Structure 1
Amino acid sequence: MKPPAKLPSRSAKTALDRIDLLILEALRQNGRITYQALSERVGLSARPCLERVRRLEQKGVIRGYTALVEPSALGHDIIALAGISMRDPSTGTRQRLERALTANPAVVELQVVNGEYDYTARIVAPTLAAYEALTEAFLADPGFGIGRIHTTFVLKTLKDFDGYPVADNRS
């Protein structure tokens, strides 16, 4: 999945019309839908529908397309939600840590947050020992400036993330 051309601004949100929202919802439900089927679903001919999808991609509203894969099928039997607190919140330390976390394939999601933690991360691992080794390596490196990692292990997923809701709240 390639990064967006540019991040959508608040004005990009207001620039979406009813047809754009229908396109986004259809693609969110089925990213493999053909342009012909998509155009029929949203009530446009194929060419204008394709042009709208390309415009949404260029604006960064559509960031990319992906398959949702079952983590355990890939050997990711451990899913952890980690709250990471910085001991040293200097800019250089944060940048080093952010580069290391985003480059690590086990870190599948990462946010900068406020409150008790500086970051929250979703981390996958094949075993508890592998997860422990990963977090110990991050904690042991003083260049990352981590003070604490608080881990909550996922026992069962009741609802997987399958995309952001698309709603027309302007009616």
Structure 2
Amino acid sequence: MKQPVRPLGRNAKSILDRIDLSILETLTRAGRITYQALSEKVGLSARPCLERVKRLEQKGVIRGYTALVEPSALGHDIIALAGISMRDPSTESRQRLERALCAYPALIELHVVNGEYDYVARFVAPTLAAYESLTETFLGDPRLGIGRIHTTFVLKTLKPFEGYPVLDGQD
């Protein structure tokens, strides 16, 4: 499993200049663009553009490249958002739960949160029965320390996640 890159921090955007931001904006919209076309779009020659992209990758600003796939095309007809509360919030229990959750391919996103839940997770499943089986597995293992899983099912996606905003209009 690929480990997440250590976050750059809240002021990371300040270390990115206008050209870096332009590169990121272009890549988030057209990840398959050639370096030649990218360099023309951002106003650099190809070599310096390639060097900037490599630097952004090395710094962890660019975490990787991927294709956005329609979940239902892969048989993921159920998308569930789950709030997970722990019975035992000790460090050992948290680590055990996090390892267990991340080992399941059906878990596509997991966040540690504050408030009513300890985690918010996004799962995919082919059927409601498959999702129910998954949650029963988690709830049935006392070593994981889960007290409750509150699930909200996605009925329709109005705006799918397609990347983080680079230029948010506040610049």
Which residue of 2 is the match for residue 130 of structure 1? 130
Which residue of 1 is the match for residue 104 of structure 2? 104
- The answer to whether structure 1 residue 90 and structure 2 residue 90 are counterparts is yes
Q: Does structure 2 conserve the Cα–Cα contact (< 8 Å) formed by 1:3 and 1:64?
A: no
Q: Does structure 2 conserve the Cα–Cα contact (< 8 Å) formed by 1:2 and 1:64?
A: no
Which residue of 2 is the match for residue 40 of structure 1? 40
CA distance in 1, matches of 2:153, 2:142: 25
Residue 4 and residue 46 in structure 1: after superposition, are their counterparts in 2 closer, same or farther (change >3 A)? Answer: farther
Residue 29 and residue 110 in structure 1: after superposition, are their counterparts in 2 closer, same or farther (change >3 A)? Answer: same
Unaligned runs of 5+ in 2: none
Aligned pairs for 1:1-171 within 5 A: 2-3=2-3, 6-167=6-167, 171=171
Post-superposition Cα deviations, 1:35-79, rounded to whole Å, max 9, x if no partner, equal 000000000000000000000000000000000000001010000
CA distance in 2, matches of 1:51, 1:64: 16
CA distance in 2, matches of 1:94, 1:156: 32
> What is the letter of the counterpart of residue 98 of structure 1?
E
Number of aligned pairs? 171
Q: Does structure 2 conserve the Cα–Cα contact (< 8 Å) formed by 1:28 and 1:163?
A: yes
Post-superposition Cα deviations, 1:103-136, rounded to whole Å, max 9, x if no partner, equal 1100000000000000000000000000000000
Q: CA deviation at 1:8?
A: 1.8
Unaligned runs of 5+ in 1: none
Q: Percent identity?
A: 79
Runs (4+) off by over 6 Å: none
Q: CA deviation at 1:102?
A: 1.1
TM-score (norm 2): 0.95
> What is the letter of the counterpart of residue 65 of structure 2?
Y
Q: Does structure 2 conserve the Cα–Cα contact (< 8 Å) formed by 1:21 and 1:168?
A: no
CA distance in 2, matches of 1:43, 1:52: 12
